[in-house]
Structure 1
């Protein structure tokens, strides 16, 4: 019988699967004060993705390391419909901007965009392609953003017994949070006590305010901020996306 996995462990495994790399990157992240989760911490961590799902739609800002540069995503995600809408901005020279909408299988983009994120997407000039998370860090990040919502809480007892670790008490803005390292993966040659390549900043009510992920030997992390405030609903998917 295969061991049960928590939802957070599945998301940690997705970091490795989506980017096609090993877990060796985590060995460089020294957390000497890390310890197993208390019961209360496991309870809050178990609510993290469920609390995001209950929000429905939320604003997201994410930085993504990409080929020696940084791509910034600014937009909104609907965790119930598994749909996102955002602007991508690279810090290359010259900088590049594009609008995107995406779901769990496809991303539609409108390149050479200059106007910020409109409330309603333009009707023309969209180009669609299947997501290729194994080869594209940006596509992997898009899927991970959709995966930050779950329609049920995680299993707190399994989480407490996993390799998830408390790292420190922290703040996101002025909000006190607990920084937790997500579980690592299991299998031959892996350390069952070593945290994985995901990090969660969780407030005292179990709300997820920030998420980071790193894969393989990368020294930089992709990081998403999820502020908790009212957010407008996402527009209907553009025809190029093929539905939500």
Structure 2
């Protein structure tokens, strides 16, 4: 990698945090077709909120979703809107812990929260830990470089930070980043052991809407 590429990879999560939040579409595959989550993520409060729909399967998972690093809240809906309402419903939510491992959805939710950091990653460590340049691709009109970061644990609370190698425990997978000339992340791809295909995280497919947390969904410390 060139020094410019390394530096852009080192700041990409920091830029997400600096922006406050990002709009993101999360494609979560499974053998039945998967789920698509149209969401906003607050990288300072560590909270996500959006609409979840089944893709190529029944609609049993359809509705609203809000999550932190420890908690997932779902609001089932027979016909959810295209985007989540700015003010979440006050009732009708069901809460459960975010699972540490073994569930592709929860792994994807934990990973997207970890794609923001309050400081740049260590650029010196990136090449040492396996970061490589893979090519270039245009993403929604943005010219990006595709970079592969070190392996990341696909489990709650695990780090996807480009500069931090994680132990290979069967859930550790490769992360690819699509980053523009300023270091902005436009896409990330994560291979998770429990999923048949990579999880795709597409950023800025629409405007970011600030996330209003719900009672019982406390931001991570």
CA RMSD of aligned residues (A): 2.2
3-state SS, counterpart of residue 197 of structure 1: strand
The reply on whether 1:175 has 2:139 as its aligned counterpart is no
- The equivalent of 2:115 in structure 1 is 148
Listed as ranges, the gaps of 5+ residues in structure 1 are: 1-36, 189-195
In the TM superposition, residue 40 of structure 1 has moved relative to its aligned partner by 1.1
List structure 1 segments (4+ residues) > 4 angstroms apart after TM superposition.
185-188
In the TM superposition, residue 164 of structure 1 has moved relative to its aligned partner by 0.9
- Matches of 1:76 and 1:228, distance apart in 2: 10
In the TM superposition, residue 75 of structure 1 has moved relative to its aligned partner by 1.1
3-state SS, counterpart of residue 130 of structure 2: coil
Q: CA separation of 1:60/1:113 partners in 2, compared to 1, >3 Å: closer, same or farther?
A: farther
3-state SS, counterpart of residue 69 of structure 1: coil
- The equivalent of 1:215 in structure 2 is 192
Matched-pair contact (CA < 8 Å) for 1:39–1:160: no
3-state SS, counterpart of residue 85 of structure 1: strand
Matched-pair contact (CA < 8 Å) for 1:101–1:108: yes
- Matches of 1:238 and 1:113, distance apart in 2: 21
- Matches of 1:93 and 1:70, distance apart in 2: 7
Matched-pair contact (CA < 8 Å) for 2:137–2:146: yes
Aligned positions of 1:37-116 closer than 5 A: 37-96=1-60, 97-116=62-81
In the TM superposition, residue 218 of structure 1 has moved relative to its aligned partner by 4.8
Q: CA separation of 1:234/1:47 partners in 2, compared to 1, >3 Å: closer, same or farther?
A: same
- Matches of 2:102 and 2:183, distance apart in 1: 33
Q: CA separation of 1:76/1:217 partners in 2, compared to 1, >3 Å: closer, same or farther?
A: closer
Matched-pair contact (CA < 8 Å) for 2:192–2:199: no
Normalising by structure 2, we get a TM-score of: 0.83
Listed as ranges, the gaps of 5+ residues in structure 2 are: 152-164
Which whole-Å deviations, capped at 9, do the CAs of 1:211-233 have from their partners, x for residues lacking one? 11002385511001112875231
Matched-pair contact (CA < 8 Å) for 1:99–1:113: no
Q: CA separation of 1:229/1:42 partners in 2, compared to 1, >3 Å: closer, same or farther?
A: farther
- The equivalent of 2:95 in structure 1 is 128
Matched-pair contact (CA < 8 Å) for 2:51–2:80: no
Name the structure, 1 or 2, with higher relative contact order (CA <8 Å, separation 6+). Answer: 1
Q: CA separation of 1:221/1:118 partners in 2, compared to 1, >3 Å: closer, same or farther?
A: same
Q: CA separation of 1:232/1:199 partners in 2, compared to 1, >3 Å: closer, same or farther?
A: same
